[in-house]
Amino acid sequence: SLSYHSSLSIQPPGSSNKRINCGSFLAQFILIRQAARQMNKAKSKLFQTIYEQVNRAA
């Protein structure tokens, strides 16, 4: 029981938790960047469509 406890206390509390949080943060960052890139593509396509319609109307 005592040796089991000492093996637990080698690792500082919350260190593995921190690693998971860092990984999920990185994953969220990548997802947000991909979503932003797709939104920019859609936005530029929308602006291009509006631009073409304005030119056609002029």
Tell me the pLDDT tens digit for each residue of 14-37.
Answer: 566 666 677 788 888 999 999 999
pLDDT at 42: 94
pLDDT at 3: 52
Quick check: 8 pLDDT over 90? no
The pTM of this model reads 0.47
pLDDT at 49: 95
Q: By percentage, how much of the chain surpasses pLDDT 90?
A: 47
DSSP result, 1-58? -HHHHHHHHTSPTTHHHHHHHHHHHHHHHHHHHHHHHHHHHHHHHHHHHHHHHHHHH-
The sign one gets for the Cα dihedral 4, 5, 7, 12 is positive
